Chain A
Amino acid sequence: MVGVGIEIEKLCVGYNKAKVLHEIDLEINPSEFVALLGASGCGKTTLLKSLSGFIKPMSGAIKVAGRDVAQLPPEQRNMAMVFQSYALWPHMTVRQNVGYGLKLRGVGKGQIKAKVDEMLALLGLSDFAERKVPNLSGGQRQRVALGRALAVDSPILLLDEPLSNLDARIRLLMRHEIRFLQQRMGLTAVHVTHDREEAMVMADRIVILNEGHVAQVGTPLEVYEQPKSNFVATFMGAENEIAVHVSRANGSVELIEQGAVKAASLPVSHEIGDGGVNWRATSAGQVLGRFHSSAAHLVADGAVPAGHLAFAGTVTQLSYPGGVFRYEIECSGQHYMIDDACRYAVGDAVTICVPAGGLHLYSDAA
């Protein structure tokens, strides 16, 4: 079955009187893979539970293929779901688990067997068909859960942090497996996760939630390269923060020398990848700069290339996470994490250089 579109309109959801989701508007296209990303308590699981029907919204609409299902119970929504805890039925075998959804839909025994065999073969579980689920590993269990969800041919697949209980290697494998199957079957998928990288590699679009509001919706490239707010930038890993004084000129931002920061002229970005600053501040003056540790590099001789935000500091710590060295640089009492391929020692005086394309500027910390 091919996926269908979902439209969420002014959705408000709460527990008792406490509102958790505030007027959420979101459109999910047919066969699209959307990741709901956010910190604990941001409302992403509540949004998924509203979609699945386990929570009834206070107001608003959830339209599936144009029909409002907001007040329908889960059993009437024709959606499939993969749970964080697998939620497999321990008294059933792998075959019975995968086939149960079909049995509920009144499918004949022969058809169920054929479909279950197909699913088990697809997921590499054919040898485990008659095994009870408590006798499977975590990865195998999650495959069974995925097979169970895919077997029912539902147009919408909901994924509630399905990979968070798996070890790192299996998790990487399952990411690609889920994405491959979703694309192959053309399903509309909504995936809840707090893992940024997982959302980036799996989703067509990412919805970043903050305290029950949509902070930004966009492709992985958009939310990573052009975060709209300081919150999104931080959440997407731009952890380094620096206050800078700027003025605006035609198409550029002029950094004014202040403290350790050197004066420079930086172009403003008009589209992703043009190498300009992601200018989100409302006015010139004191603004907040953010950048990823991987966006900057270090120079030892103070030879700063043009079009870079540059400020001097001292190496206080170093580690090797693989591929590059990770340095902690101390500058005017602030600490910055910078990845660089060159080797420096603790105590070395260095200059941090951030290219215009790696810098995000905001008016405030919101």
Chain B
Amino acid sequence: MSGHSMSVGPGRMGAIMLVAPALLMIGFLFLYPFGYSVISAFTDNGEGSWHLSNFVKAVEFYSKDILFTIAIVTIATALIGILAVAIAGYLTLGENKIAITVLKWLYRWPLFIPFIVSAQLMRTFLAKNGMMNNLLTSSGIIELLAAQSYLDWRGIVITFVWKQTPFVALLVAGAMASIDRTTIDAGRIFGASRLRILIELVVPQIATTLMVGLILSYVVMLSVLSVPLMINAQSPTMLTVDMAWRINSYGDYGVANALGIMSYLFTGVVAWFYLRQSLKDKRA
């Protein structure tokens, strides 16, 4: 009886009122600008007929940057996944209590540092005469003349990985801590090494969480401007730099929005994989 009364009349209105603020926020802050961007990408700043010239121009001018962007975020996402699993795996399966405590304390630090500060840190760390090369030369690992700057694509990848690994590791470590511990013990008693337990028994059980973390990181890295701008602003660079350039130097919102929609498409591809996997899990 009460179920019926919930779905009609004032009850229903109340429910709509409750979700209305959130819906309006999404509408005004996301759907409206997004819709405007889409229209702008396919027209001349929202005027005139529909055409693809902004996309043609974007591909013509920035095809290298598109591939560079995809390569950077893909490599960084893969490395983040490997490192996050390694950190969370050690926190879950490691036996050295001191090492675990130190790692637990250290690995989260980059989470609290903004991207722009991370980029600045990396500039001083990865430059030709930066801290990393100073350390390597002073410890005799490399010759002074062999020192090289990492402030190129490698610098962007290193910064992204350093900044985003703790976030994914945090999610993954939480998921690993919540799996039934005896499934790990069972692996050990049947003779599995730690690495096999991690790869064959633990990671498959937390795969959904890992995927969510990696997709969120992927999306974040696609949208970061400060890191590529500060570490590698020369060509090729990432799409966010190109977008900023089109707007600030030319006031060209059409091409900037076309590049933005391409970023959406890249995100859409990974989101599709995620949704497909979620549906598969639900059916299983």
Contact = CB atoms under 8 A, between A and B. Distances in A.
B204 interface: yes
B201 A89 contact: yes
A78 B190 CA distance: 7
Contacts of B191: 75-76, 78, 101, 104-105, 152
B25 interface: no
A73 interface: yes
A105 B190 CA distance: 9
A286 interface: no
Contact of B186 (A73, A81, A132): A81
B277 to A, nearest CB: 12
Nearest to B188: A74
A79 B183 CA distance: 16
A79 B189 contact: yes
Residue in A78, A79, A91, A104 whose Cβ sees the most chain B Cβ within 10 Å: A91
Given A90-B205, A91-B205, A132-B284, A81 B189 contact: yes
Contacts of A85: 180, 182
B16 to A, nearest CB: 37
A91 B179 CA distance: 12
A87 B284 contact: no
Nearest to B190: A101
A13 B20 CA distance: 61
Interface in B200-232: 200-201, 204-205, 207
A73 B188 contact: yes
Contacts of A53: 188-189
B192 A75 contact: yes
A104 B190 contact: yes
A355 to B, nearest CB: 46
A53 B190 CA distance: 12
B143 interface: no
Nearest to B284: A132
Contacts of A80: 189-190
A89 B192 CA distance: 13
A54 B189 CA distance: 9
A54 B181 CA distance: 12
Contact of B183 (A78, A88, A104): A88
A12 to B, nearest CB: 21
Given A75-B191, A75-B192, A104-B196, A83 B205 contact: no
A6 to B, nearest CB: 15
B113 to A, nearest CB: 35
Interface residues of A, number: 28
B189 A89 contact: no
B204 A91 contact: yes
Given A89-B201, A104-B196, A83 B182 contact: yes
B101 interface: no
Contact of B188 (A75, A78, A100, A105): A75
- Describe B's contact surface by its main secondary structure: helix
B2 interface: no
A104 B196 CA distance: 9
B186 A89 contact: yes
Nearest to A100: B190
Interface in B144-192: 180, 182-183, 185-192
A144 to B, nearest CB: 11
Nearest to B192: A104
Contacts of A148: 186, 190
Residue in A75, A77, A105, A152 whose Cβ sees the most chain B Cβ within 10 Å: A75
Given A104-B196, A132-B284, A87 B190 contact: no
A135 to B, nearest CB: 8
A52 interface: yes
B193 A75 contact: yes
Contact of A74 (B185, B196, B207): B185
Interface in A52-102: 52-54, 73-81, 83-85, 87-91, 100-101
Given A83-B182, A104-B196, A74 B205 contact: no
Interface in A145-177: 148, 152, 158
B175 to A, nearest CB: 13
Given A90-B205, A91-B205, A74 B182 contact: no
B192 A87 contact: no
Contacts of B192: 75, 104
B106 to A, nearest CB: 25
Given A104-B192, A132-B284, A87 B182 contact: yes
Contacts of B189: 52-53, 74-75, 77, 79-81, 158
Contacts of A105: 191
Contacts of B284: 132
A87 B180 CA distance: 7
Contacts of B207: 91
A47 B283 CA distance: 42
21 contacts: A54-B185, A74-B185, A74-B189, A75-B189, A75-B192, A80-B189, A83-B182, A83-B186, A87-B180, A89-B183, A89-B205, A91-B204, A91-B207, A104-B190, A104-B191, A104-B192, A104-B196, A148-B190, A152-B190, A152-B191, A158-B189
Given A74-B188, A75-B191, 11 more contacts: A53-B189, A75-B190, A77-B189, A81-B186, A85-B180, A87-B185, A89-B187, A89-B205, A90-B183, A104-B190, A104-B192
